[in-house]
Amino acid sequence: MTPAGTTLLVVEDEQELREYLVEELEDLGYQVCEAGNGALALALLRERPVDLVLTDIMMPQLGGAGLYHATRCDPALAQLPFLFLTALSSAEMLATLPESEQPHILKKPVDYDELADAIRARLA
Angle between helices 15-27 and 112-123 (to 10 degrees): 70
What's the confidence (pLDDT) of residue 43? 96
CA-to-CA distance for 3 and 31, rounded, in angstroms?
8
Listing from the earlier edge strand, what are the strands of the sheet with 52-56? 31-35, 7-11, 52-56, 82-86, 105-107
Tell me the one-letter amino acid at 59. Answer: M
What's the confidence (pLDDT) of residue 105? 81
For the chain, 124 residues long, give each residue's pLDDT as a single digit of tens: 668 789 999 999 999 999 999 999 999 999 999 999 999 999 999 999 999 999 998 888 899 989 999 999 999 999 999 999 888 765 556 666 666 676 678 888 889 999 999 999 999 8
What's the confidence (pLDDT) of residue 93? 62
Nearest alpha-carbon partner for 33 in 104, 19, 116: 19
In a domain, 87, yes or no: yes
What's the confidence (pLDDT) of residue 73? 94
What's the confidence (pLDDT) of residue 97? 65
What's the confidence (pLDDT) of residue 26? 96
In a domain, 2, yes or no: no
What's the confidence (pLDDT) of residue 108? 86
- 53, exposed or middle or buried, with CB in 10 Å at 0-12, 13-18, 19+? buried
Domain that residue 15 falls in = 7-123
Number of domains in the chain: 1
Tell me the one-letter amino acid at 23. Answer: E
What CATH number did the domain enclosing 95 receive?
3.40.50.2300
Q: Which residues pair with 32 in a beta bridge?
A: 8
